[in-house]
Structure 1
């Protein structure tokens, strides 16, 4: 099941800024997709990953952010108003302060973490992965709450290539952030209590 589209029209960030804030959308190559709601497992994982990143990055130049927070991924020579890809990743880290402005982030974050749910899995694994790869996101994680694994894509000369898949056990180092890792055991111990 995919995310519902707003309509069949091509949209840009200029259109996006005029829409009511009561309904959240993401733009992928001009197509507006309605954002899905989240469940307790999703919120728990997002909150824990963000908290661990925030703690690990205190006093360092890289900054973590959590949705809802607009990330504009312009193609070459696209102004903000012409940008047709605007996403709200679950968790992201930006190390270049020039990319951060009052509207959010313009350009590729260094790390993006998306937590999958049944309604977003295909969207995140296919459409958003392509957008992140094209934009130059150095490291992209897909956390699978049901399967208890994280799929890690690292950008190379030929794009993302084959991902690394790890169980949500122990710790997982963040490749693009020196001496930063995510610890899973306490978080995962809470997840079996949640009905899927």
Structure 2
């Protein structure tokens, strides 16, 4: 959730110097606090991470669970970076995008698990930023309904209509050849 009545633009420098105990994200220069995730959120995250990480053994791509820093801007000057995210899962196949802090540029695939306090940002604001940055595949998971919305970047550099999946289906990942996510175990 955004902090109330922000008067200034926050940058990556602020993110690096944040001294609070809470996790933060910066979206268009606005500071967003990250509430502690629920147990259900963590169970879903853990199972997705397990399935993806097992698939990626011996492959070039890597999967990183939050907190893992994603800077969509590829510029070097920290005062000019005004978008810093910590997606629930980030999958990166280009090792040149990785540094000691996280990912600089668009991951290949991002997964966000919504909560009542993050759903609006995940579905609208982050959606637009991820699309603009060129994230090839974006999943929005809604734990309360056991629904997954899969957005894939088209040739026109836009996300098309989502493919929707429910609790007991299997989802074929578009960005990773032959990976299939079993939602029954994700949501159980």
TM-score (normalised: structure 2)? 0.93
CA distance in 2, matches of 1:158, 1:94: 18
Q: Which consecutive residues of structure 1, in runs of 5 or more, have no partner in the other structure?
A: 190-196
Structure 2: gaps spanning 5 or more residues? none
d(CA) in 2 for partners of 1:9 and 1:35?
19
- Greater CA deviation, 60-69 or 36-45? 36-45
How far is the alpha carbon of 1:187 from its aligned partner?
3.3
Q: Which residue of structure 2 lines up, in the alignment, with residue 170 of structure 1?
A: 169
Distance 2:3 2:99 in 1: 28
The runs of at least 4 consecutive aligned structure 1 residues that moved more than 3 Å come to none
> SS in structure 1 opposite 2:171?
strand
Q: Determine if contact 1:70/1:86 at 8 Å carries over to the other structure.
A: yes
Deviation at 1:21, TM superposition (A): 5.1
The number of residue pairs the alignment matches comes to: 185
Q: Secondary structure at the match of 1:101?
A: coil
Aligned CA RMSD, in angstroms, stands at 1.4
Look up the match of 1:192.
none
Task: Select 1:113's aligned residue among 89, 111, 114.
Answer: 111
Question: What residue number does 2:127 align with?
Answer: 129
2:59 is the counterpart of 1:60: yes
Instruction: Give the corresponding residue for 2:76.
Output: 79
Preserved CA contact (<8 Å) 2:24 2:31 = yes
C-alpha separation between the residues in 2 aligned to 1:137 and 1:158?
9
Residue 68 of structure 1: CA displacement?
0.2
